[in-house]
Structure 1
Amino acid sequence: MKLKILTLFPEIIQGFFQSSIMAKAVERGIIDYQVINFREYAADKHRTADSYPYGGGAGMVLKCEPIAAALDAISSSDQSAARRIVYPSPSGTQFTQAKALELSQMDELVFICGRYEGLDQRIIEEYVDDEISVGDYVLSSGEIGSLVIIDAVYRLLDGVINSESLLEESHEDGVLEYPHYTRPEEFRGRTVPPVLLSGHHEKIRKWRRKQGLKKTLRNRPDLLENRKLSKEDEKLLSEIEQEDDHGSD
């Protein structure tokens, strides 16, 4: 997959691609990336990338010309390639695991990192395919929002992470992931649940599923609303509710 990131602050982006799992994905050729400082495409002698908003108001707005020139310069010559231009924005649609999976099917993703009050609307209308919000809050850095999306997407590509690990993660089937434990068996009076030490794979599987459902019910009950549950999940949820009722007596 090709990743191209348009930013005023390349140094924020570079470290991410040079570290940990991403660095290995780049080394293996799974990821090819390019960081573009769109200030370099500004035509005036001061390399101006922002200006005051029409109609007044606080803050500055990123200008059309530098971003448009940068996007035109990196446009793909391969018209058959699946390509999307992404603008992370608090005004966008909610980012989900399903959206990450959709974007992971692309050959190329281009990210526009906003700053200040954001982009001139005409850039969004002319170029942007996906305006995406990573949460109901506001960031000062479009770079951070872009990296959130990139991190969720690239790890889904073949060869980046063990496929078995991906299947058991939170949000893959609408249920949050179960809790994990490792050595030592006892830490500050807290012990590893005995079932995980039993070696009984089926009991471990059911325990993990039940714990995932319990966490989802506690932290994200909305994920279970209007969701068709398996008979096993229905039974496990019934057990959880009975345990909660018993605990409240």
Structure 2
Amino acid sequence: MKIDILTLFPKMFQGPFNESIIKRAQEKGLVEIKIHNLRKWTKDKHKTADDRPFGGGTGMILMIEPIYDALKELKKKETRVILLTPQGKIFNQKMAQNLSKEKHLIFICGHYEGIDERVREHLVDEEISIGDYVLTGGELPSMIVLDTLIRLIPGVLKKKEAIKDESFSSKSLEYPQYTRPANFKGWQVPEALLSGDHKKIAEWRKKKSIERTKKRRPDLL
């Protein structure tokens, strides 16, 4: 998969994409991530990518021209263009699964007070939000979306079961998990998990997953 990110703050991405699973996915050639500074496609000596809104108002608006020119250069026939915005559809695991099957994604990270509406109307395929709250820009949301979908790409994680058993993958929350020691300050690991009986363990996990989902996220059932 190829991923291009359009942002005014490319340095924000240096840490998250150079560590752990995403770093290994890039090293394996399973995903190629390129961070682009939108100012590259500006036309004045000051590298201006934003301007005041028509009609007045507070803050600055990202201009359409740099975004249009960036997409003209980067977009291919199979490309899907995503805008990170609080006005978008709330991101979930199903959306991540669908996006993980794409060949090429371009993420536009909004910033400041907003983005020229013509970007939404003419250049974007999908708008995504990570929740009903406002951040300073689309950089952090894009990291969350990418972290979620990249780990779903075949070969990124070692075991398919690691994905299958996770919360939301089966419309339920993941079962409780424990590791050594089996007893810590009198807090004991459930006996079923120590039994070595795979059937009993599977039954316990399924039961606890359902119980946890009913208690914490009944809307998933």
TM-score, normalised to structure 2, is 0.96
User: Partners in 1 of 2:18 and 2:3 — Cα distance?
Assistant: 14
Which residue identity does 1:21 align to in structure 2?
I
Please, which runs of 5 or more residues in structure 1 have no aligned partner?
A: 225-249
Residue pairs, 1:110-189, within 5 angstroms:
110-161=106-157, 162-189=159-186
2:191 matches 1:207? no
2:186 matches 1:196? no
User: Partners in 1 of 2:54 and 2:186 — Cα distance?
Assistant: 62
Residue pairs, 1:49-68, within 5 angstroms:
49-68=49-68
2:13 matches 1:13? yes
Which residue identity does 1:96 align to in structure 2?
N
Which residue identity does 1:65 align to in structure 2?
E
Describe the superposition over 1:22-76 as per-residue Cα deviations: whole angstroms up to 9, x where unpaired: 1111111001111100112110111111111122222111111111111111122
- Asked which structure has the greater RCO (Cα within 8 Å, sep 6+), the reply is 2
**Structure 2 equivalent of residue 106 of structure 1:** 102
Describe the superposition over 1:195-242 as per-residue Cα deviations: whole angstroms up to 9, x where unpaired: 100111111111111111111111111111xxxxxxxxxxxxxxxxxx
TM-score, normalised to structure 1, is 0.85
Describe the superposition over 1:122-159 as per-residue Cα deviations: whole angstroms up to 9, x where unpaired: 01111111101111111112111111111111111111
In terms of fraction of residues, the more helix-rich structure is 1
Identity of aligned residues (%): 47
SS of the residue aligned with 1:115? coil
SS of the residue aligned with 1:48? coil
Aligned length: 220
User: Partners in 1 of 2:14 and 2:154 — Cα distance?
Assistant: 23
User: Partners in 2 of 1:157 and 1:207 — Cα distance?
Assistant: 29
Residue pairs, 1:52-91, within 5 angstroms:
52-76=52-76, 79=77, 82-91=78-87
Which residue identity does 2:146 align to in structure 1?
I
User: Partners in 2 of 1:53 and 1:128 — Cα distance?
Assistant: 20
Give the ranges of 4+ consecutive aligned residues of structure 1 lying more than 6 Å apart after TM superposition: none
RMSD: 1.1
**Structure 1 equivalent of residue 37 of structure 2:** 37
User: Partners in 2 of 1:186 and 1:118 — Cα distance?
Assistant: 53
Please, which runs of 5 or more residues in structure 2 have no aligned partner?
A: none
User: Partners in 1 of 2:132 and 2:213 — Cα distance?
Assistant: 20
Describe the superposition over 1:110-130 as per-residue Cα deviations: whole angstroms up to 9, x where unpaired: 000111122111011111111
Which residue identity does 1:145 align to in structure 2?
P
Which residue identity does 2:83 align to in structure 1?
Y
Structure 1 residue 104, shift from structure 2 partner: 0.9
**Structure 2 equivalent of residue 240 of structure 1:** none
SS of the residue aligned with 1:45? coil
Distance 1:129 1:183, change over 3 A: same
